[in-house]
Amino acid sequence: MIEYSDFEKVDIRLGKIVEVKDFPEARNPSLKLKIDFGEEIGIKKSVVGIKDLYNKKDLENTFVLGVVNLPPKQIGPTVSECLTIGVPDEEGKVVLVRPDKSAKIGGKLF
């Protein structure tokens, strides 16, 4: 088990997807996202393996949760600056965790 103080170190924020691009260089079907996490955090890039369940048009301007305080991770020729949160479906494909639109962009999960 972890301590509650360990959980508090993980900074999970609500963001709005503002740009979606294909990422053909990835090993698995992936997309590159730009996510706006509000004034305090700004816009971060994320590489997500969700292309088999989502199309680019449906993702733009939708809300997601992301871990914004992890170090950048090199993924092929690009860098992912945050971890977009998802859970597996019955086939192991990633389903995004998407909160209500009424929540505030940049809001921290607690």
Domain boundaries, the chain: 4-96
Q: By three-state DSSP, how is residue 59 classified?
A: helix
Q: By three-state DSSP, how is residue 56 classified?
A: helix
Residue 99 pLDDT class (50, 70, 90 cuts): confident
For the whole model, what pTM was predicted? 0.93
Kindly tell me if the per-residue pLDDT of 107 is higher than 90: yes
Question: Cα(90)–Cα(109) distance, rounded to whole angstroms?
Answer: 26
What is the CATH architecture assignment of 4-96?
Beta Barrel (2.40)
Rounded mean pLDDT of the chain? Answer: 94
